[in-house]
Amino acid sequence: EDQLIGYLILMFRELNILKQFSIPDDLFRVFLKTLKSQYNKEAPFHNFRYSFEVTHACYMYLRTAKNIRTLLT
């Protein structure tokens, strides 16, 4: 699951979110590891992997939307 953290950093970097808010990769990595440690590891569904999957889906929607304004109106 540590590999997922790397993918999350890439997604946020590619969307320019880290740059826009001046968040260094290392600090974001620490944040994500802390977030991951707070999930209940015994939860069968709502866990860190699920949160990654939801984030990835949102990332893909943002990357593939040709005209987001059209989708929102």
- What is the pLDDT, as a whole number, of residue 65? 78
What is the percent of the chain where pLDDT is above 70? 88
Residue 62 and residue 41: Cα distance in Å, rounded?
29
Residue 71 has pLDDT above 80, yes or no: no
Predicted confidence (pLDDT) per residue in 32-59, tens digit = 999 999 988 787 888 899 999 999 999 9
Helix (H) or strand (E) run with residue 52 in it: helix 48-64
